[in-house]
Structure 1
Amino acid sequence: MKTMSNALNEFKIFFLNKNCEIVLEKLSKIKTFLVNDCFLSISLFAAIVTSFFNTPNWGYVDFKVIICLFELMIIVKAFEEYSLINHLSLLILNRCKNERILLQVLCLFAFISSMFLTNDVALMAVTPLLINISRKSGYNIILPTILITISANLGSCATPIGNPQNLYIFSHYQLHIGNFFSYSLPICIVSLFLLLCITFFFSPKQISFSMKDASVLEKKKIIVFSALFVLLILNILGTIPYYITLPILILVTLILNKSLLKKLDYGLLITFVCFFISVGNISNIAAIRNFLTVLTNTSTNIYLSSLLLSQIISNVPSSILLAPFSFDWHALFYGVTIGGLGTPIASLASIISYKILILEYPNKKKEYLSKFLLLNFFCLLIIGLIFYIYIQLN
C-alpha cells in the first residue's frame, strides 16, 4: 500500500510539473509574441488600462473594417505566396541601367503597388529586392530605402484599400468612391511630383546587376484570387455585403490553399480590435470627450491635430480616435496621410522597412534614423504646407 501511495504521489508530482512546463512554455511564447510586436503590446495595454475608467463595449469595434482587413490580408498573402509581386518587380528592375532610373522605378513601383496591395506589402516586397541589388552592385541603399518608404506611405492614400486608416475612414464616413478620389488624387499628384523631383538629386551613375526572375506559380489560382480581389473591392464599396464575401473567400482559400490562413498576421487584427476598444473607452470619458470636441471643431484643427497626433501614436489610431468627433473627413484624411511622414512610428509601414534594412545592416541604425527624420520632415513640411493652404481655401 505504501509503495502504491508513493507511486501515486510521484505520478501527481510528475503530472503537475509537466503541466507547469506546458503552461510556462505557452506563457513564454505569448511573451515573445508581445515583445516582437510592440504595437500590439501597446494597444493591448491601452485597452486594458482604459477599461478601468470606462466599461468596454463590443459596439466600439467596427467589425466591417476588421473583416475587410482580414479579407485583404488573405488575397495579398496569396499574391505573395505565388510570387506575383516579385515577378512584376524583377521584370521591371532588370531593365534599369543607372542609379537614378533604378530609384525612380522603385519609387513608382512602391507608390503604385501600395494603392492596391497596401503600403506594408509594397515595402515587404521592395526593400529585400533593394538589399539584394546592394549585395550585387555595392549600391548605397540608405536614402533609396527611405525614399521608397515615403513613396509607399504616400501612394497608399490613393485608394480606400491602400492602408488601414483609409479603410477605416471610408467605412466610418460611408463615403462614395468618387468623393474619395476627388480628395485622394490631388495629394497623390503633389506627392508623386515631389518624390520625382527629389530623385533628380541622385546621380545617374551606371549600375550593373542581374537578378533571376521569379516565375509566377499557380497561374490559375492567381486568376481565382484576382477575381476574389474584385469581389473585395465591391464589398468595400458597399455593392456586396461582407457576410456574402467573407464565407466565399474563406471557402475558396480552404479549397485552394488552406495554409494561407495560418500565415496571416492575426496580431494586426487584434491590434485593431484593441485600438477600437481603447479609443471607445477614451471617447466616453467626459473630460477627454470635451477636449477632443474642441480639438476637432474646425477643419484646420482636425487637420493639424491629426497630423501632430500621428507623430506620437501613429496615423491609424489617430484616425480612429478623432473620426467620431468630426464630420470633416477630408481634413482628417489629409492630416493622417501627411502625418504618416515624420517620425518612424508615424506610420506602421515605416517600421517594416527599418526592421528589414537593419537586420541586414545593424551598424547603419544611426545613419538611417538621422536621414529618415531629415527627409521625412522635409516632405512633411512641403506637402503639409500645401494642403494646409488647400484646406483654408476650401
Structure 2
Amino acid sequence: MAINVLNKIKLKLCEDIFFSASLLAVIITSFFNIPRIDYIDFKVIACLFELMIIIKVFEEYSLLSYISVAILNSCKNQRILTQVLCLISFVFSMLLTNDVSLLTVLPIMVLISQKSDFNIIIPSVMVTISANLGSSATPMGNPQNLYIFSFFKLNAKSFFDFSLPICIISLILIILISFIIKPKQINCDMSCIKVVEKKKIGIFSILFVLIILSVFGMVYYLASLFVVVLITFILNKSTFKKVDYRLLITFICFFIAVGNISNISILKSNLSNITQTMGASYIVSIILSQMISNVPSTILLAPFTKYSYALFCGANIGGLGTPIASLASLISYKIFVNEYPEKKKEYLMKFTILNFFFLVVLGTFFYSRM
C-alpha cells in the first residue's frame, strides 16, 4: 500500500517538472535561510486563483468557444491568426498585465487548436513572448515595472522614455519572426456556437472587472477574493474542482525559494560590487532573471544600483530566455502542458530556441545603448 502511494507521488512529480523543481528548490534553499511567510505574494496567488475560476466558467458557458469561432472566421490562415493573437496578447499585457493577458488569450488558442488543424506550439510561444514584451510598455504591465517606477520615483516622461523603444522594437521583431509560420489555410470543423447562461456570464464578467481592479490596487484583493469565491460557490461550485491547484502551489514554492535565495547574506553583500556600472547592472539583471525570475531579481538589485534604466531594460528583456525568467512564461507552460502533455518536450525546445533568440537580439541591441 505504502509503495503504491510512493509510486503515485513519484509519477506525479515526474509529470510536472516545474512543480518538482520548485519544491526541490524550497527544500535546498531552506538549509541556507529560514523561510518566512512574507516571502509569498498572496495578492498574486489570490488573483491567479480568481482568474482561473473566471476562465473555467467562461469555458463551461461556451463564451471562449464563441470568441474562438469569431477570431477564426476573421483570419484567413495560420500566419494571420498568429499575428492577430500576438497583437491581442501584446496590447492586453500593457493594460491588464502579462499574467492576465496569457490567462485570457491562451485558453482561446487552445480551443481554436482543438476545433481546427491550427498547430499551436510556435504560436503559443510567440503569444507568450508578446505578453512579456508588451507588458514593458506601461508601469502596470508587470510587477517589476511598477516596482521600478515607485522605487526610483520616476515621472511619466522618464518611464516612457525607457519603455517605448523596447515596446516598438519588440513589436517589429515579433511581426517579422511571425513570418516563419506558413500561411497555411485553416481547416476547421465547427458547428454554430451558442453562448449559454448569458445572465451568469454577465455576473462573472463583472467579477472579471473586479479582479482587474484588484490587480491595480483599486479594490482590496482579499475583498475581491471573497466576492469571487462566494458568488462562484452559489452559482457554479463545480468550478472549484477544475482549478489547477498545482500551479498555485508551484508559485508558492517559487516565492519561498526566491525569498530564501534573496536573503542569503553572502549574495547580498556582493551585489553592490557587481552593479557599479550601467552595463554591469544590465547584464546582472538579465542573468539573475534567468535563475530567479525578473520580478524578484529587480527587487533584489534595486537597492544596490543607481541605474534605473539599466535595471528596467535588464528586467524586461531578462523575462525572455528560460521558462522561469518570467512567471507569465510558467503560466503559459502550465496551460499548454495541461492540454497537450505529450508535446511538452517539443514545446520546451521551441520555447527555448525562440526565447533565447529574442533575448540575444534585444539584449545585444539595448546593451549597445548602455
Q: TM-score, normalised by structure 1?
A: 0.73
1:46 aligns with 2:1: no
2:233 to 254, 266, 278: 254
- Counterpart in 1 of 2:244? 265
**Structure 2 CA distance, aligned partners of 1:323 and 1:52?**
26
Query: CA shift at 1:374, angstroms?
Result: 4.6
Aligned match for 1:84, one of 58, 63, 69: 63
Task: Tell me which residue corresponds to 1:221.
Answer: 200
Give how far 1:248 is off.
1.4
Counterparts of 2:274 and 2:55, CA distance in 1: 37
Uncovered stretches (5+) of structure 2, i.e. residues with no partner: none
338 and 218 in structure 1: CA distance in 2 versus 1, 3 angstrom threshold? farther
- Cα contact 1:118–1:156 (8 A) shared by 2: no
2:318 is the alignment partner of 1:339? yes
Aligned identity (percent) is 52
**Given the alignment, which residue of 333, 343, 349 partners 1:351?**
333
**1:61 pairs with 2:44:** no
The answer for the alignment partner of 1:384 in structure 2 is: 363
Secondary structure, counterpart of 2:74 in structure 1: coil
Q: Distance in 1 between matches of 2:308 and 2:5?
A: 43
Change (3 A) 1:78 1:132: closer
CA contact (8 A) 2:116 2:186 kept: no
Deviation at 1:91, TM superposition (A): 0.6
Q: Which amino acid aligns with 2:105?
A: A
Write the letter of the residue equivalent to 1:308: I
Counterpart of 2:229 in structure 1: which amino acid? I
Letter in 2 for 1:235: S
Please give the per-residue CA displacement for 1:230-263, whole angstroms capped at 9, x wherever unaligned.
Answer: 2223223222222322211211111121222222
Task: Decide which structure has the larger Cα Rg and report it.
Answer: 1
The alpha-carbon distance between structure 1 residues 212 and 338, as it changes in their structure 2 partners (threshold 3 A), is farther
The Cα of 1:104 is off from its aligned counterpart by 2.3
SS of equivalent residue, structure 1 residue 133: coil
Could you tell me which runs of 5 or more consecutive residues in structure 1 were left unpaired when the two chains were aligned: 1-20
CA-CA distance at 1:195 after TM superposition? 1.7
Q: Quick one: which amino acid aligns to residue 270 of structure 1?
A: I
Choose from 102, 105, 109 the match for 1:119.
Answer: 102
Q: Number of matched residues?
A: 360
Give the RMSD, CA atoms, in angstroms.
Answer: 4.0
2:223 maps to 244
Report the secondary structure of 1:250's partner residue: helix
Q: Provide the rounded CA distance (Å) in 1 between the counterparts of 2:102 and 2:303.
A: 25
C-alpha distance in 1, partners of 2:200/2:306? Answer: 42
CA offset digits 1:55-93 (Å, max 9, x no partner): 222233232333333333333333333333332232121
> How far 1:277 moved relative to its partner?
2.2
Counterpart CA distance in 2 for 1:230 and 1:64 is 16
